[in-house]
Structure formats: C-alpha cells, structure tokens
Amino acid sequence: MERQAHRQSPLLKSLTGLVFIVAITLFIQWSYMNEYPTHVHAWAEQDHYALALGFINNGFDLFHPETMIYNKQFPSWWKEASESTITAVDFPIHEYIVALLMKLLGTTSPWVFRLWTLLWGMLGMFFLFKIAYRLTDDWLKSVLVVGIALTSPVYAYFINGFLPGAPALSLGIIGMWFYLRHFDGLSRKDFHLCVACLTLAMLIRTTFAIELIAILCFELVRIFHKESTFIDKLPSVIASLIAFTAYYLWNKHLRLLYGSVFLNELLPPSDWDDAKELIADTYHKWKFLYFQKTHYIVFLFVILSAAITTLWRSIKGKAVGNKSTKTLSLWWLPLIELLGCLLFGIAMMQQLPNHDYYLIDTAFLPILVLLALTAKVLPKPQNKFIIGAAYIIVGLLCVVMVSRAKRLQMERRYWEQYATVSYNNFMGSDLLLDSLNVSRDAKILCLYGYAQNGPFIQMGRKGYTVMTDDETLLDVAFTWDFDYVVVENEKYAKYLEKRYTLLSGLTKTGGNSRISVYTASRE
C-alpha cells in the first residue's frame, strides 16, 4: 500500500497543479473569450486572424497563406499592389488548424481562435509546472513559478490571443521538458522529441531557434565531457535543419513573388546613442508589463535567500543542493539561452519599444527555468507550522498577482482606441455591402481604416488598404484595380474633403451613419 501511495503522489500533485493552472487562467481570461482584436497589438492580431480566414477562402492550401490585403507592407510599404493576397509568413500551422476548426464548427467567431490559443497556453503552463517540479521536487515552489508565468501581464494578455507566440512558447516548454528527461538519462528518444518540438516552435516563431541552439551547444559540451553521445543525435538534428531550411527557402520564394504583411528583417540600433534611447524607452514602457512589481520582489527574495543558503552551507561544509554535478551544470543551459536572447535583442532593438510580446518569444522561458533552479537551492521546511505558513504566503502572493493581472487586462483595453473606432464603424459592413449588391469578390479600396486587415475581415471582402493620410500612397492607390471605395464618414470629413481632384471622381452608392461606399471613375 505504501508503494502504491508513493506512485500516486506525483500524479496527484500534477492534477492539483493542473487544476491551479486552469482555475487561474479561466478567472483571468473568461471575460475576453469572444473579443474581437481591437486593443494592444490589434494590427498584428488581426493579421493572424486574417490568415485563418484566408485558409478557409483558399481551400486550405497550407503553403500559400493569405490575408485580405493586395498591397503588402513589405517591401514597398503599401505602395505596390500585388495580384494576390498571398503573403510570406512563418509556418502558419496554428492558423491553419484554427481554420479547420472554424470550418468544422461552422463559425469564424474570435472565440474559436482564442480557445485554441488558450488550450495551448494551459498545456504549456502544465509542462512548466512539471519542469519546475522536476527541478525543485517541491509542489509549492512549482506553483509559485507557474503563478508568476500566468500572471505576467504580457503573457496574460496573449495566452488567449491571436499571435502564435504563446503556442510556440508552449512547444518550447514541452521541448525543454523532454530535454530534461534526456538529461536525467530516462530515454534517448526524449532528445529526438525535444528537437521535434523545438523545430516546430522554430518554424512558427523563428526566435525559438535560440532555445534549440542553446540546447545543442549545451549538449555539445556534455559530449566533450563524455556525459552524452553524438552519433545517435544526428538524425533528429539533421531533420530539423532540413525542415527549417526548406520552409525558409519556400517563405523567401513567397516573399519575392508576393511580398509580405509580416516583418522579416533585422532592425538593430543605428548607433550607440540610438541604442541607449531604445533601451531606456523599452525599460520605461514595459518594465511592469513584462513582470509585475510583486514578481520582482519574489525574484529578489528567492535570489537573496538562495545566496544566503548557499553561503551558509559552504560555511558548514555542506554540498549545495543535489550532490550530482549534472544539477549544477544545468544552470548553463538557461544562461546560454539568455545570451542568445541578448543577441536577438540587439539585432531587433528598434522593435523592442513597440513589441512587448518579444519577451514571450525569447527570454520568458529561460528566466522561469532560472527561477526554478534558484528556488531549488532553498531548503524544504520540515516543521508543519512553517510549511503551513509557506502555503499561506504563496497563496496570498497568488491572490495579489492574479488580481493585478486581471486589472491590467482591463486597463490595457483602453490604451489604444484606433482599432476600436474602426471596428465599431465597420460593424455590420458585410451585410451593408451585400444590400448594395457588392460582390464578395469585389476589390475594396479602404481609406483610413485601422488596422490593415481589420476592416476587410468585417466587410468579408479583400482589397487595398490606405491607413494613413499619405498623399503619395493615396494618389498611387487610386490607380489600382479596385471596384469600390469605402471610408468611415468621420475620417472622410477629416482627411478627404480637401482632396478635390480625388473627390471629383467619386460617386456615392450607399452607406450608413458610420461608413460610405463609393465608385470611382477611371477617366
């Protein structure tokens, strides 16, 4: 009976960890499960939403992803119109599966996309719990690590969103879990499973190449130290390299042929002064959106406590942590990964002040692994009163972190209103265009609608976007092969009323109190 209870204990702890993850996630996220992406990073989220709809429209052709836009942002900044809405993009397998689910369920509502991302997010957090428990052998420490991850403001915002970062992170976490099993010598196949997960994560978000390269570098050092073997790892590494190279070349072909609505170039700082300004801007903008103040206090407490514990054990002549040299050497893995994240941060520094979600794609996992490794150093309390106090403290911390994450979820939805305005104005526009006998195949020139794909998603038509009051772009746009012009009434009054030459060629065919539809003469 004692053996059976011992075997059931890890399962029970895993189940309670899973309940903890699901409960916190649903408490924070449930209110937003069918919300259209109109808030922070609405532009990027609507682009990925459009990809899923594009697969439904193109008959589920995985290797020709498309959005709703003919004039792509890259390379010409919307000034050139393609004959196709096909776009280059990192491997869009998640958007493809979302499209299949939408087709199966008979709805393209946002909740389908959000639910798929949320399920992946919770799966990743469950494996993070397993990683933390494997490293610390302590349920409470593992819950604390996962609690911090779930209530990180940036992760809490995107765990049920439309960007592929959260699902790719989950694959990265699962890959790390398999690597730790391999590191502990449980099975050789775990290394191959690790590489498979990380290859898929890397195809979805190229930045996860950092994690794969870090593991390969770490494993190479272990091979030199005769702690691991070489030949048996080659098949999966070679297969990974082939898969990544093949899709890279295909994506490059799509980019050259059709352009892209997604960024695909490095943007380092122009000089040292520029770097300092970008770093300062990133720090002031995101420091409490990467992690909460409470998180930083916990980090500091854990680090100081671990340092004091290590010093005390050294004085007493005791071994620090586990006597196995493997446990100590494992510290190098997240440190190598953080070095790769630093190099990426330099290469993309111009984007850092505008993209908080880069944390999810890069440093989030190694920071959490380092937290678990540091927490491992702390001694386990033996006294039942101390154990009870520890549970109460962690419980209170979780209450504070969850309430703050919930509040920030609401606050962030009032920071950017541009997409919300356009969303409200284009509400029901698909039916309006139907009533005006505008074909679903008609090409729409949408003026000043934000963001680029959003109005077209709502109109249910493809077309050309002009989001800003750029006279050069506007003049070029009126030479393209569009069928109708659609503009929000308030933006017509603000931007177009003085463009007499363009207006003279427009004839209004219908509209409502929010948008108007025009045809344009081509004389």
Spatial contact of 28 and 41, defined as CB atoms under 8 Å apart: no
Phi, psi (rounded to 5 degrees) for 259: 85, -170
Residues 337-351: tens digit of each pLDDT: 999 999 999 999 999
Inter-CA distances, 497 with 25, 96, 212, 501, Å: 48, 42, 55, 10
Predicted pLDDT at 523: 56
Write out residues in the chain with pLDDT < 50, as ranges.
Answer: 1-8, 320-323, 325, 327-328
**pTM for the whole thing?**
0.93
Burial of 68 (0-12, 13-18, 19+ CB in 10 A): buried
Cα–Cα distance, 477 to 447 (Å, whole number) = 10
What tokens were used for 280? Answer: 């300062």
Element containing residue 463 per DSSP (H, E): strand 462-466
Listing DSSP states for 475-506 in one string gives HHHTTS--SEEEEEHHHIIIIITT-HHHHTTE
What pLDDT is stored for residue 495 in this prediction? 80
For the segment 8-41, what is each residue's pLDDT rounded down to a tens digit? 477 888 899 999 999 999 999 999 999 999 998 9
**What span, in angstroms and rounded, lies between the C-alpha atoms of 52 and 104?**
13
Q: What angle do CA 29, 51, 98 make, to 5 degrees?
A: 50
Phi, psi of 509 (to 5 degrees): -110, -10
Cα separation, 173 vs 164, whole angstroms: 14
pLDDT of residue 522: 60
Question: Secondary structure of 93-151 in the HEC alphabet?
Answer: HHHHHHHHHHHHHCCCCHHHHHHHHHHHHHHHHHHHHHHHHHHHCCHHHHHHHHHHHHH
The b-or-e profile of 31-60 (16+ CB within 10 A means b, else e) is ebeeebbbbbbbbbbbbbbbbbbbbebbee
β-pairing verdict for 484-488 and 443-447: parallel
pLDDT at 73: 94
Using CA atoms, how far apart are residues 303 and 308, in angstroms rounded to an integer?
9
Query: What does pLDDT average to over the chain?
Result: 92
